[in-house]
Each structure stands twice: as C-alpha cells, then as structure tokens.
Structure 1
Amino acid sequence: MLKQRIITALLLGPLVLAIVIWGDKKWFMALTAVIQVASVYEWLKMNRLPFMASIVLAVIVTAGSCYFAHLMMVTPGFAQHYVLIAFGLVWVVALLWLWQFKLGHENRKAQLFLKAILGTEAIALFAIAFLMIRVEDQGQWWALILLLTIWVADVGAYFSGKTFGKNKLAINISPGKTWEGVIGAQLFVIGFALMVSHYMPIDWQTSLWVFPLVALFSVVGDLAASLGKRQAGIKDSSNLLPGHGGFIDRFDSLIAAAPLYYMLLFVL
C-alpha cells in the first residue's frame, strides 16, 4: 500500500503542478474536468446509482460546468451572484448535515437522491470556481496558492494532531481529527499567508483572514466527504488512485475550498 501511494504521488503530483503552473487554459480545463468527472462518478456510486448512470451523469454535469464557466469568462459579471447563492445554500445544508450527522444513514431512496444532488452540485461549483480562478490575472499562481494553502493546512494539522491531539473534532464522523490539529493547521496557514502577501498583489491584512478561513472551510469538505463515505459503508471513495483511494479522498478539501477562495479574492 505504501509503495503504491508513493508511486501514485510521484506520478500525479508533478503532473498536476506542471499543468497548473505551465499548462495553458485548455490543459487546466482538462485537469479540472478529469477531477470533476471522477469525483461526481464516485459520489454518485457511493449513493447507489448504477455504474453506467454514474458515468453518464458525471460527464453531462462536467460538460455543463465547463460551459457555464465559459459563459462567466466571456460575459463579465455573468451569474456571479447565482454561484455565490448556490455555494451558500449547498454548504449551509452540508453544515446542517454534519451537525445532524445521523440524517441520511438509513439510505432511503429520497435520502440517497438528496445526498447525490448535494455532492454533485458542490463538485460542480468547485469546477466552475477553479476554472474562473485560472483566468484571473496571474491565475496560474493563484490556483497554485490555493493548492498550497490546503497542503500547508494538511501538514500543520497532521503534525499538530500527532504531537498534541487530545480533543476530538468530530468523533462520530472522522475520529482521527482533533481540535489541536485544526489550530495547528491555522498557525501554519497564517505563516503561509504572510509569505503570499509578500509575493502576490494582496495586502497582509486581507491575507491573514482569507487564507485561514479558506483552510478552515476545507475541513468542512473533508468532514462532509467522510460522513458520506461512513453512511455509504465504505472506507475510500474508489480505488482510482492506487494507494490513495479515490478522487474525493484526495480532493475533498479542494472541492469545498475553491469556491470560497474565488469569492473572497475575486468577487466580494
């Protein structure tokens, strides 16, 4: 398992970074589409849609997201408020679901349908926001900074949780997470935010609240994915990434964080 994990990371990590930094907008759209198709497929399969239906719907939703993002690119201001409202509604529902974590565990048809819609829309909003970030001035660097923010938060949470972790964050959803890990992640991200403000056109005061907030919200995405898997009775969202599980396992934090990041930096 460890060998597979290392090989997959060594193959895919540099590829993703190369596309984000040096790839043109078409390559970036292709990368985003792959993440979205795989993630939607996994989420729909988790909620008991048939194999072919999950694939077909994943492709349709991804095509629709790319087209919607294209309309936003060519028409300044197009539907930005709709995206903001949709993001707010999706994640308010997700927070309520995390609060009442027993909701949906019976996996009745109506519950599976609602969970499928919730996750699919969240992933679609991620794709739209991620594509919109790329077309901003210095978009490749802003996209890279988003990825690094999540990575820095993960590293901070891991070391802080391992060293100091005693108080569980959400023991019924993700037993390994602790409040100490969350605090450590925030401290790491604050340091990273100050560095970003030195190299990018963003003042340090804005940087000090935007990046920690984005990192904090990425935890919500992680918890929502964990709850979805727990209710589906699975450990990993799929085995598409050997040693790492599936795309949702790897990109759940990014899926939650990207729309908020886009809104805070470029819309609000």
Structure 2
Amino acid sequence: MLLQRVITALVLLALLLPALFYPAPEPLCLLAIVAIAAATWEWGRMNGMAQPKSVALAMAMVFACLLSWIMGLLTAHTPTLWTIAGAAWVLVGGWLLRNGARGWANIDKIVRGIVGFAALWLAWLAICQARVIGTNFLLSVLLLVWVADIGAYFAGRAFGTKFFKNKLAPAISPGKSWEGVCGGMLGVLVLAGVWVWADHAWASPVASLYTRLAQHSGILLVVAVLFMAAMSVVGDLVESLIKRSAGVKDSSGLLPGHGGVLDRVDALLPTLPLAMMLVSIVG
C-alpha cells in the first residue's frame, strides 16, 4: 500500500511540477481541466448518478472550462464572482456542517449536481486565474492548504483530545480534533511569515498572496490566513459528509493508494476562490 501511494505521488508530481513551472499558464490550465473533469465524474457517482450521467456531467465540465477559456475569463477581472463564491462557501459550508450527512441526502439530486458542478468549475477558474497572476502567487495558496493539512495531522497525532474535550466533528470525520486545527493554523502563520520575508529578500517579481495581504495590513494577513486555513478544514469536512452520505470511503479509486481526485482537492475547493476574493479586495 505504501509503495502504491509513493508511486502515485511521484507520477502526480511528474505531471504537476512541469506544468506549474512552465513559463505560460496553458499547460497547468489543461491539466486542471482533466483533474476537475475527473472530480466531476466522482461527484456524480457519489450523488446517485448512473455511470452515463456521471460521464456526461464530466464532459459538460470540460465544455464549460473550455468555453470559459475562449471567453477570456482566465484573464478577466472578476471580483464580484469571487465575492459571491466566497460568501457562498461560508454560508453553504456552515449549513452543511450543521445539518450533516442526513441534511445533504435530503437535498434534491439535481440541486446537488448543480452545487458540485459550480464549486468545481469555480475551483478550476480560480487555479487558472491564480496561475495567470504568477507561479509564486498560486504556490502560496496551494502550500497554505498543504501545510494546514500536514500541521493538523501531526498536531492531532501528538496532542489529540489533550487540550479539548470534544472532537472537531465526530459525526462526520471522527479522526479530526481541535488540536489538529490549531496545529494547522500555527503552521500556516509560520508559512505566511516566512513567505513574506522570502518575497522581500529575493525581490520576487510576482508577490505571493501573503505579501499582498501584508502590504495592505499585518492584521489582515493574520486574519485572512487563519480564515483560509479554517475554510480548508470546511472543504475537507464537506467532502467527508458527502462520502458518509453516499456510504463510501473514497470518492473513487482513480489514484491508487490515495483514493479519488476529490479526496486530494477537497480543501482547495473553498480556498482557491477565497484567495481570488482576497486578492481582488486588496489589489
């Protein structure tokens, strides 16, 4: 199992890194279409769609992404879109976590399909617009999610239930603890501080998300980073409750040893649009 996980991770990195660091954004945007289409197929399957309908939903996502590309949305200034997307994630995400797997199951399948389609399309557009801004900017958003996840894992393993009596969301994801959340937040604060210093020390031609926030206000940087780390947890928990509603452990088996694409990008679904919202606000 470990060997399988390592091989899959190496293959994914071999695809991601050249596309990420290519001088132009097109390779990464194309790779992101493939990933988002696969995640859309998984979404359809987890929400009761038959195989042909799930495939059709994935093909519709490919068409929507390509149409958005042709229409010039990758380079468009869309602050209203990102503000609406950010607010929707906060409100809908909070509602879903409050109502749990049963609340999700009671929503009409068509509505669930539309919600998932919109969330995945927005994540694709956000990653493309972030890459258009620059690799340093996009990396700063991706690393925030990964560091929050890693920090939460090790803090949870080391201190789980030591300081907080209750688990984070035992009915949705029994393994997650408040100690883990705190560890993740501490990790992203350190990451943000180091990245701001590195941008200044190396005179980065493209400012990271953290530097853009810090130039506006140090308090904004701290609040925004903690907020995004919290929303990455929301994204993870929302996918967990959908899987629990569907009665599955993983979104699919597309990534051997890692589950499905949604299992790997769930925390990015809210944080990518929120990052674009924040950069739209601060300029």
| Aligned pair partner of 1:128 in 121, 125, 129 | 125
For 2:255, what is the secondary structure of its paired residue?
coil
Look up the match of 1:17: 17
Question: Cα distance 1:14–1:23, how it changes in 2: closer, same or farther (>3 A)?
Answer: farther
TM-score where L is the length of structure 1: 0.90
Identical counterparts, % of pairs: 37
Question: Cα distance 1:154–1:82, how it changes in 2: closer, same or farther (>3 A)?
Answer: closer
Shift of 1:144: 1.4
For 1:244, what is the secondary structure of its paired residue?
coil
Return the alpha-carbon distance in structure 2 between the equivalents of residues 87 and 53 of structure 1: 29
For 1:248, what is the secondary structure of its paired residue?
helix
For 2:175, what is the secondary structure of its paired residue?
strand
Letter aligned with residue 192 of structure 2: A
CA contact (8 A) 1:62 1:124 kept: no
Ranges in structure 1 where 5+ consecutive residues have no aligned partner: none
**Larger CA deviation: 218-227 vs 45-54:** 45-54
CA contact (8 A) 1:104 1:231 kept: no
CA contact (8 A) 1:197 1:207 kept: no
Letter aligned with residue 32 of structure 2: T
Return the alpha-carbon distance in structure 1 between the equivalents of residues 101 and 245 of structure 2: 9
Question: Cα distance 1:132–1:117, how it changes in 2: closer, same or farther (>3 A)?
Answer: same
Letter aligned with residue 147 of structure 2: V
Look up the match of 1:214: 228
CA contact (8 A) 2:74 2:125 kept: no
Letter aligned with residue 260 of structure 1: L
Question: Cα distance 1:209–1:17, how it changes in 2: closer, same or farther (>3 A)?
Answer: farther
Deviations 1:13-51 (A, max 9, x none): 243123112362110111210121011110111111121
For 1:101, what is the secondary structure of its paired residue?
helix
Return the alpha-carbon distance in structure 1 between the equivalents of residues 175 and 224 of structure 2: 26
Question: Cα distance 1:15–1:262, how it changes in 2: closer, same or farther (>3 A)?
Answer: same
Shift of 1:90: 4.7
For 2:108, what is the secondary structure of its paired residue?
helix
User: Following superposition of structure 1 onto structure 2, how do residues 244-263 of structure 1 map, counting pairs within 5 Å?
Assistant: 244-263=258-277
Return the alpha-carbon distance in structure 2 between the equivalents of residues 195 and 158 of structure 1: 21
CA contact (8 A) 2:101 2:244 kept: no
Return the alpha-carbon distance in structure 1 between the equivalents of residues 244 and 174 of structure 2: 11
Return the alpha-carbon distance in structure 1 between the equivalents of residues 277 and 44 of structure 2: 27
Letter aligned with residue 80 of structure 2: H
Return the alpha-carbon distance in structure 1 between the equivalents of residues 128 and 2 of structure 2: 32
Ranges in structure 2 where 5+ consecutive residues have no aligned partner: 200-206
The root-mean-square deviation of aligned C-alpha atoms, in Å, is 2.0
Return the alpha-carbon distance in structure 1 between the equivalents of residues 184 and 63 of structure 2: 35
Question: Cα distance 1:234–1:210, how it changes in 2: closer, same or farther (>3 A)?
Answer: same
User: Following superposition of structure 1 onto structure 2, how do residues 167-186 of structure 1 map, counting pairs within 5 Å?
Assistant: 167-186=166-185
Shift of 1:258: 0.5
Alignment: residue pair count: 262
Deviations 1:32-82 (A, max 9, x none): 1012101111011111112122122212123313433553345x43x4313
Question: Cα distance 1:40–1:267, how it changes in 2: closer, same or farther (>3 A)?
Answer: farther
Letter aligned with residue 148 of structure 1: L
